[in-house]
Amino acid sequence: MTIAIYIDADACPVREETYKVAARYGLVTTVVSNSFMQIPRSDLIRRMVVDAGPDVADDWIVEAVAPGDIVITNDIPLAGRCLQKKAHALGANGRPFTPDSIGAALAQRAIMEHIRSTGEITGGPRAFSAADRSGFLQALDRIIVQEKRRASK
């Protein structure tokens, strides 16, 4: 079993970090976006440009992902779909989405969408920080080690 990493790349602040961790473990990373995105030259990094439109990149990732793979995304519905396929979903801040947490995350997202639809200004997410970057690196490493151990059994 080979672990693959997929990056929901539009607006992802941890692409470079993902490339470095994946290279250390020899894992293929696929960068999925709606428009051309520059990626480093590497046999381990692939680019997939999909058509523009709602959920087109998400649909491509869900179709490609397999159990044990890792999806880097802040998109909560995409994370839920990946979890259904027994893949890992990791937010850019290092927060893993889990079967136990995804229901609450989806509910919170729905509440915030409803509040925004009433015209309320919610302020958006907080700024991405060095602590978020560090948490992401630790979480990604932890998931890869966990999957490699599981595969070797």
Q: Where are the domains of the chain?
A: 4-152
16, 27, 67 from 64: Cα distances, Å: 22, 15, 10
| Number of continuous H segments (helices) and E segments (strands) in the chain | 5, 6
What is the rounded CA–CA span in Å between residue 94 and residue 136? Answer: 3
Hey, what CATH class is 4-152 in? Answer: alpha beta
Tens digit of pLDDT per residue, the chain (153 long)?
A: 689 999 999 889 999 999 999 999 999 999 999 999 999 999 999 999 999 888 899 999 999 999 999 999 999 899 999 999 999 999 999 999 987 776 565 556 566 665 667 777 766 666 888 999 999 999 999 999 999 998 887
> Closest by alpha carbon to 5, among 143, 149, 135?
143
Q: Strand ranges (DSSP E) for 3-42?
A: 4-8, 28-33
What is the rounded CA–CA span in Å between residue 43 and residue 76? Answer: 30
How far, in whole angstroms, is CA 91 from its chain's centroid? 6
Q: What pLDDT is stored for residue 33 in this prediction?
A: 95
Q: What pLDDT is stored for residue 1 in this prediction?
A: 61
